[in-house]
Structure 1
């Protein structure tokens, strides 16, 4: 039985935009117009018990499938390169593509401040859903979208054709942008990056903007909109949203061996390691140790840091911190956390970023305040 999704789209739009939650109603109209079911193929993954379980459209009722599609949920569509449609059963691994929850798509585009007629470069086509939202608002002739994965790029092209949109689609490394379409009014990334690729700056017009999630190997993230000035520097402040996007594949963490504690120096910590349980505290730790990974080692607030580049380690235990290797990871993180606490432990809206061809700096308060260099 064919089920009309119009009412479901209307209900999704109300959930995202009801009560005056959005200032730009044009994005709400786009959510109501774009049929999301055209962009999720025939299966998605559902998380469960440490693995990813495929849910197939053919195995559920049409009402249940469309209810799933029109929930404000991120549906993982690919895990370590295997699509949900190709999975024989539950798989273990990391998500490598998804249909992002519509409210985050709308929030990101709202932060970007796009206006009618803007020419936009989207980084990460994915399923094509956010690309369709852009096309509905701006017109397909103003939208260029780049996808790294060839299979995903081909699938997204089919989805967009089925939905009636024909933007410029590119299969390639989105971190290189798309010079043939420059200059752009805006770059909008639907993936996270460890630093701002220079090609994005070079392909913007003066006064153009970059909207992206800044993340890293600790997997903390912050949403930011940067504006390019006529001297080639881009500056902006972070939003306060607790958002998460997958890292761009060229910025992903390299494979690492199992963690084993190695002997090192021990001392009392000057800050509570539990600060890394705080959303902004973890973001600060990532700024201080940009090539480290992080995980909890128990339910008692103990933490572990392991530097991918040097093998350095830091871990906490009963009020003490232990460090091994050429980098004193906890010293770096501790100094950053103390600077943050000294400023009153503000949320991410107190942080900003300045990007030039030579350096990329995240700062606290003002550009002259405490600051950290990104690993460009």
Structure 2
């Protein structure tokens, strides 16, 4: 059998772009999709001929294993356009590495780097007009893998589909975010799949998050499953705490996602000579810091959210408002990240990837 990975990408073009119907000033996150998508199937132990085709519905058998056993992993990344109309990606190989780590944890095949980078670059060149220049504008990119084999026996699938879809985006959260510290429900546990971007991780959060939203909070900051004493991460973001002039974030583990934005902020803190501690953060420590005034900031960090300041938190029926801080770390890091991503500043760590 000829290895299909040596072939060029099949491209099916369309003469009917949806661009003219899109109001880019009034986008709802994740609701509008571009003209094209990338698709590659895994059959008989090999990834097959990769394709790019117009964005469209797909047909799967009701017995496809993804519907029954949740073999599904995904990534979130963004493309940007600089002032010279160049398309820029931010640390894309880190996203590929992480989706492959996630796939391995769910007994799914890893996706080859060369096909990913070539496929993504080709897709973005076809959808280039969907990427608007200007800080705050981006194209959200969603690579994902699902189990497609039609079988309902409880075992890993033998066939999969790797897909990339794209959606123009602005800010994920507008305004300040209020959060609830978890006391009952857990996002993940030791030995589980919390470190993977598995679809089921997010589905399990929806119910407790809906309870928090009913109380006026946008997100939950999850605590450790064993004791609920240590703060870990939010549903869509890693979390940073600033006590006086020290920045603190929880260490990654098999419960916490190794966020690419998180890693970038840790490096930017070092670049700015800001004291950064990666260690366990207790609920008691943060509540006491809020009471004595040493808690200056809490903010979330993630690809979709970028950086979102948190204005208040609740725990055990106590509500703590966090006053605005002049020259906040959240604003500093957000501006520096956006400037790197939009090619407006030096990229001393080689994070930018220009699509050519």
Is the shorter-chain TM-score for this pair beyond 0.5, marking a shared fold? Answer: no
Which has the larger share of helix?
1
TM (norm. structure 2) is: 0.23
TM-score (norm 1): 0.22
Q: Choose between structure 1 and 2 for higher RCO, CA contacts under 8 A separated by at least 6 residues.
A: 2
